[in-house]
Amino acid sequence: MKSLQNLTDPVYNADYQPTAYDRFWLRLMNDKRDLPFIHLLTLIHVTVVPTAILLFTNLFNGWVWWLVAVVYFYVAQFYFKGRFGLMFHCLCHRKTFKPAYQSKFHSYITWIVCPLFGHAPEGYFSHHMGMHHVENNNEEDTSSTMHYQRDSVVDFIKYFLNFIFLGVINTIQYLFNRKRKKLYTRLTLGEYVYMVFCIAMCFVNLKATMVVFIVPLLFARLVMMLGNWTQHSFIDAQDPDNLYTNSINCINTVYNHTCWNDGYHIIHHIRPGLHYTEMPAEFLKRKDEFASKKAIVFDGIHYLHIFIYLMTKQYHKLADNLVNINGMFDTREQAIAVMRERTKKCYRPV
């Protein structure tokens, strides 16, 4: 196990001097700390967007088309996907632009850019903001991990297939039952318009549609479910609503530098609107509460490592990277026993 060390995760750099390009955008924005989002979107619009369009044209043929398609898929779905997806997550929680521009900006990202990274329009926002953060992984959460054995490959496959085939329908039903008309209308419209769009584009260019829209959609849903599974793998069955013990934190990892401190998932559920640059300080401020709850915090590894260690039941490797805040675990064996207990299927105490 590890002791709590100095944090290396990104915080706001007050010494950064905006360029002329930055100053143009800052006139439209609410928070200068969001400039990295503009930089990322700019890169996407000079690489991913034009290449996606070109794949639907006759500019490339034969093996050249496939070469460009492979490079495009790697850049879009492996290099940019995580950065974009977690940036969009931040955009959903905080209004990036001033009121006169926010709606247009968000609609453009949602309907034009998101599909390039496997997000059907309106789906992520409706599910994440309208349901996940309301239910916080409890039984009513349509992506809840509670009723699955969270170190089981078989149970993960069941979880993923359930989401693929029933996730959207269940979320629409959840929002409908709670009379959240705007959200279930947006989700239904986005999902089915996108389905019709993809079918229509198959008649325009089947292979380009598969590479640009359909395969990324399936890949994105696998990645999102893998992420949610890992974030909510450790749950205290005696108190499943406790935000300290139904999620995890990952600190001091490169992942936090590329994906906007997404590793601070406990902090995010406690304070969903907190800016990502403030999360390390918020964690340190709450470290005594983390210790009193025996909250699970890992140092130096991220969700993919944790997922692999869980699926292979390598609890000793999880223990190697577990942070023993304030000596909350007496022994390594005790920490492993707690982790094993928290990955079991759980149901609300009667």
Quote the pLDDT of residue 250: 98
pLDDT at 349 over 80: no
- Judged by DSSP in three states, 144 sits in coil
**Are 9 and 252 spatial neighbours (Cβ–Cβ below 8 Å)?**
yes
Let me know whether 213 and 121 are in one domain.
yes
The percentage of the chain sitting over the pLDDT mark of 70, rounded to a whole number, equals 99
Whether residues 60 and 170 share a domain: the answer is: yes
In what helix (H) or strand (E) does residue 53 lie, and over which residues does it extend?
helix 35-54
CA–CA gap between residue 322 and residue 318 (Å, rounded) = 6
- How many whole angstroms separate alpha carbon 80 and alpha carbon 246? 29
Judge if 26 and 146 occupy the same domain. yes
pLDDT of residue 348: 78
Domain identity same for 258 and 225? no
Q: How far is CA 206 from CA 73, 123, 198, 227, 350, in A?
A: 15, 24, 9, 30, 53
Residues 143 and 260 in one domain: no
Amino acid, res. 70: V
Express as a percent the part of the chain with pLDDT over 90.
Answer: 99
Asked whether residue 213 falls in the same domain as residue 257, the answer is: no
| Angle at which helices 303-311 and 215-231 cross, to 10° | 80
Count of domains in the chain? 2
Mean pLDDT across the chain: 97
Tell me the pTM: 0.96
Say yes or no: 194 and 273 in one domain.
no
Contact 167, 142 (CB under 8 A): yes
350: which residues sit within 8 A by CB, 6+ positions away?
none
pLDDT tens sequence across 234-289: 999 999 999 999 999 999 999 999 999 999 999 999 999 999 999 999 999 999 99
Q: Are residues 62 and 183 in the same domain?
A: yes
State the Rg of the chain over Cα. 21
Amino acid identity of 151?
Answer: D
Distance CA(185)–CA(200), nearest Å, equals 22
For residues 299 and 58, what is the distance between their CA atoms, to the nearest angstrom?
A: 49
CB-based contacts of 72: which residues, under 8 Å, 6+ apart?
48, 51, 52, 55, 211, 212
Among 231, 263, 285, residue at a domain's last position: 231
For 80-128, what is each residue's pLDDT tens digit? 999 999 999 999 999 999 999 999 999 999 999 999 999 999 999 999 9
Q: Please identify which residue in the block is written with the tokens 């010494």.
A: 15
Residue 318 sits in which domain range? 248-342
**Of 259, 289, 317, 279, whose CA–CA distance to 37 is shortest?**
259
Same-domain pairing of 277 and 191:
no
Same domain as 163, residue 308: no
Q: Which of 171, 168, 95, 163 is nearest to 130 (CA)?
A: 171
Q: Same structural domain for residues 85 and 29?
A: yes
pLDDT of res. 350: 62
Report yes or no: 30 and 96 within 8 Å, Cβ to Cβ. yes
Last residue of a domain, one of 178, 203, 231: 231
Q: How far apart are CA 322 and CA 290, in angstroms?
A: 13
Query: What's at 297, amino acid-wise?
Result: V
